[in-house]
Amino acid sequence: MTSWTTLARAGTASGDDILLRKRDELFEIRYNGIELMSNLNHQSEDQLALRSMRRMNFEARRILIGGLGLSFTLRAVLDLAAPDAEVTVCELIPEIVDWNRGPLAHLADHALDDPRTRVLVGDVQTHLAEITTDYDLILLDTDNVLCWEDFAA
């Protein structure tokens, strides 16, 4: 097994450190030193999309996803959505969007390049407060906890 290679790093306005790293074919995003997500397993993202779309009888046309991550939820939604669907993703960290257009793009079969995809860099809560139209389906796939130190302990 090879050692980890740091591919990119991002910081937040509050001083948090976000790291993208790779070992062999494993990609990982870390938040303040704690593993946030990897491409090792994305069953929860797949199930979130499948169960939500099933509840909508696969008829949702305007879909919002809060949180991009590694694009697995987005890919699963796109695979289930109609050809005329519009899928909007809100991602708070602009570098995560860049990473999904770059070194992570192949993991979710270039989901951001799908013409049905629209990316908004910003807070999903702010977006929801500002919109004037409705979504058929809203999926919140954010990794937010009140205190990462408590979570790590």
pLDDT tens digits, one per residue of 84-96? 999 999 999 999 9
The domain locations on the chain are 41-142
Q: In CATH, what number does 41-142 get?
A: 3.40.50.150
Q: Is the pLDDT of residue 144 over 60?
A: no
Determine the residue type at 152.
A
Q: For 108, phi and psi rounded to 5 degrees?
A: -115, 35
Asked whether the predicted pLDDT for residue 127 surpasses 50, the reply is yes
The per-residue pLDDT for 148 is: 44
Longest CA–CA span in the chain (Å) reads 51
Give the number of other CB atoms < 10 A from CB of residue 78: 19
